[in-house]
Structure 1
Amino acid sequence: MTVWDDVIGQPEAVETLVRAVGVPGAMTHAWLFTGPPGSGRSVAARAFGAALECPRDGCGECRECRTALDGTHADVTVVATEGLSIKVEDTRALVQEAALRPSVGAWRVIVIEDADRLTERAADALLKALEEPTPRTVWMLCAPSLEDVIITLRSRSRHVRLRTPPVEAVAALLTRRDGIDPALASYAARAAQSHVGLARRLARDEGARIRRRDVISLPGKIRTIGDAIGAAADLASIADEESSASSAERDAAERTRLMETLGADPSARTQPPHIRSQLSSLEKEQKTRATRFARDVVDRSLVDLLSIHRDALVLRLGARVDLVNQDSIDLVRSLASSHPPEVLLRAMDAIGEARERINANVPPLLALEAMTVTLQQHH
């Protein structure tokens, strides 16, 4: 066992990082990990951080490795924003932390999982820390692509590119690490298009599998404008359901913990002003998180919708490529037999445009309605 066991399908990246840990002079103070969603950017960054803290360069078994990987090591900070952006005040706090010497380990490691969400002012604050690096501090930025990070940050970082891991590698990881049945692991890895986190969720949550099935069966149901508007509402409600299911328990636990910390009486009909203000601030954070989560769910649904059209196109053109939705072959055949290639391509364009609009802050329901109406016109 080593810290690299969960960094699957990335031999070149792992080789670069192992060399940086073990070879004098190969280390640098800032790294930028890029790769498509689910490729394991933050997994690779955490493994790298663990290897730097480990006296044996990443054995995976010592206390340093275990605490660095599970997020409890005193010198390893992981920033995973749940809002829509990382603000300048958050970055300034990180820069102050980065200036401190490591307290117990060899390095102070700061991982920013969503460096593409840094606001312009936040990126400027971080730039100063990268321009004047502190000895024994290493920054690890993660983003989908180089273009998602401002040029001044990426020019001061060493780039590690990750790729989409093979379906077989993701399935093997689910079986080895999570004890998932091999057949279910294989389905989940393929349906998630090798997105490790999503594959794990599909494998473990029957509700998620049912919701995905509902999404990929939508194209066959859109015949009238009414169907199109209904389909958009269905997609939006699937996202809201999943967001609520995911956050209800966590929100309640956070509220309870805050009340305990403040010494408040949860049964009181009204709370003192200072407690009301803290609760209001927590609710605002939770709402922002729920908004982002719902958008992410909508985006995943659109990726699933894209995959069924892609499979229909593959089948229609007779291309020798594996299908994403092999387990739903009847749906794929039905879509392929009723739509010529140019119509399938136009539908894929409409889905891609909806993803871009939502990413640009267009209200999801509006973007979805525009998309489903276009699908109805072409179907």
Structure 2
Amino acid sequence: MTTPETDPLTGIWRDLAGQEPAVTVLRRAVADPALMTHAWLITGPPGSGRSTAARAFAAALQCPSGGCGECRECHTAYEGSHADVDLVSTEGLQIKVDQARELVQLAARAPSVGRYRVIVIEDADRLNDYSGNGLLKAIEEPSPRTVWLLCAPSVEDVLITLRSRSRQVRLRTPPAASVAQLLTRRDGIEAPMALYAARAAQSHIGQARRLARDEGARIRRHQVVGLAGRITGVGEAVGAAADLMAIAEEEKQAALTERNASERERLVLTLGADPAARTQPPHIRAQLSALEREQKTRATRFTRDVIDRTLIDLLSVYRDALVSSAGGGVELVNQDNAALVGQVARAFSPAGLLGAMDAIGLARERIAANVPPLLALEAMAISLQLPR
């Protein structure tokens, strides 16, 4: 018989590449009520599988077999359609207090068909002081058989009042080989492409899948990393910042334009109006204005996320150059672009490479703090000029 200790990544847990230690903890809690607690905080770097782990845990808590991955309870809980499992995420910049109050009311209800009522907050780092404190009492004094699963990149990203009342489970960055094996098994991607994508995405499972399946995404990444070898002056730096913004805008348009139009049409039809009409009645215009505000907030977050991802790609070049110049036996992220890595390694001293990495990190922090992205990118790019 398979046990958590011998083979943790089976059943509902099979998509958690490289996370055997964390899965073992969660599986033991499912199997032994004495190890179960009412609130969990699942943390890990982007792409490590935080939401996947939380969904799998929720499914295992409802499954009669503890997470077989085949039964109706597993499928519905994992997908968020189970009556006693609620998946909460936001496409905005924050989770608002009104939504937190709704969750408190939900948490007070007894489970209707399952063993637990499970509430998964996939973006617990987006709880602000008001919404986070709104949840505090419900998490501090939980209803019987209610389980909270909070997900965030790190413990420090969650309000201290919440994390101090939660049991912490930390995911790690999975090995690129494990991510490649997952892409091949789950998505049918050929092994060489899967391994390239896993390395280029720095083991971010979602981004690796996207790179492996989308040629446009691979082209845009190639353009981003290529900037490291082109910034030779202030003019080129300003141009590079503009290029990064253009790449983000292109990806935003590709991802959101059709979706926004579809949402608008669906709303108008639901309200019983004609989507092709040039003007709409006042009550419909009010609904459309609310939808447009939501879409604008989503676009802002999406643009920030895309820019942050491109900066991580750019950072990988300087990281590889530092590893190369140090002569370490560490695997390069950009093995397919060794010539560029060598060029950057020869141009910068080790201190210069660290300075470039710091400049990229500072740009990410500034954008997260609402500095206009183009200004932050221009300041960063000026710091990345190749030494003459």
| TM category, shorter | over 0.9
Query: Which is worse superposed, 206-215 or 313-322?
Result: 313-322
What's the offset of the Cα at 1:337? 2.0
Q: Return closer, same or farther for 1:339/1:52 CA change in 2, 3 Å cut-off.
A: same
In 2, are the aligned partners of 1:346 and 1:378 still within 8 Å (CA)? no
Secondary structure in structure 1 of the residue aligned to 2:36: coil
Residues 1-379 of structure 1 mapped to structure 2, 5 A cutoff: 2-376=11-385, 378=387
Distance 1:96 1:266 in 2: 36
Query: Which is worse superposed, 253-262 or 306-315?
Result: 253-262
Which residue of structure 1 aligns with residue 6 of structure 2?
Answer: none
What's the offset of the Cα at 1:14? 0.8
What's the offset of the Cα at 1:4? 0.5
In 1, are the aligned partners of 2:348 and 2:386 still within 8 Å (CA)? no
What's the offset of the Cα at 1:223? 1.3
Distance 2:295 2:196 in 1: 33
Secondary structure in structure 1 of the residue aligned to 2:34: coil
Secondary structure in structure 1 of the residue aligned to 2:42: strand
Distance 1:196 1:361 in 2: 27
In 2, are the aligned partners of 1:54 and 1:65 still within 8 Å (CA)? yes
The one-letter amino acid paired with 1:71 is G
CA RMSD of aligned residues (A): 1.1
What's the offset of the Cα at 1:376? 2.0
Secondary structure in structure 2 of the residue aligned to 1:289: helix
Distance 2:183 2:159 in 1: 35
What's the offset of the Cα at 1:377? 6.9
In 2, are the aligned partners of 1:35 and 1:162 still within 8 Å (CA)? yes
What's the offset of the Cα at 1:303? 0.5
Distance 1:92 1:229 in 2: 45
In 2, are the aligned partners of 1:86 and 1:119 still within 8 Å (CA)? yes
What's the offset of the Cα at 1:76? 1.0
* Aligned pairs, number: 379
In 1, are the aligned partners of 2:366 and 2:376 still within 8 Å (CA)? yes
Deviations 1:317-342 (A, max 9, x none): 21110000001111111211222222
Secondary structure in structure 1 of the residue aligned to 2:41: strand
What are structure 2's unaligned runs of at least 5 residues? 1-9
In 2, are the aligned partners of 1:347 and 1:378 still within 8 Å (CA)? no
Distance 1:259 1:74 in 2: 29
In 1, are the aligned partners of 2:231 and 2:386 still within 8 Å (CA)? no
Deviations 1:192-227 (A, max 9, x none): 100111111111111110000000000211112111
Distance 1:276 1:130 in 2: 39
Taking structure 2 as the reference length, what is the TM-score of the superposition? Answer: 0.96
Detail structure 1 runs of 4+ shifted over 6 Å in the superposition. none
Secondary structure in structure 2 of the residue aligned to 1:165: coil
The one-letter amino acid paired with 1:360 is A
What are structure 1's unaligned runs of at least 5 residues? none
Deviations 1:95-120 (A, max 9, x none): 11111111221111110011111010
Taking structure 1 as the reference length, what is the TM-score of the superposition? Answer: 0.98
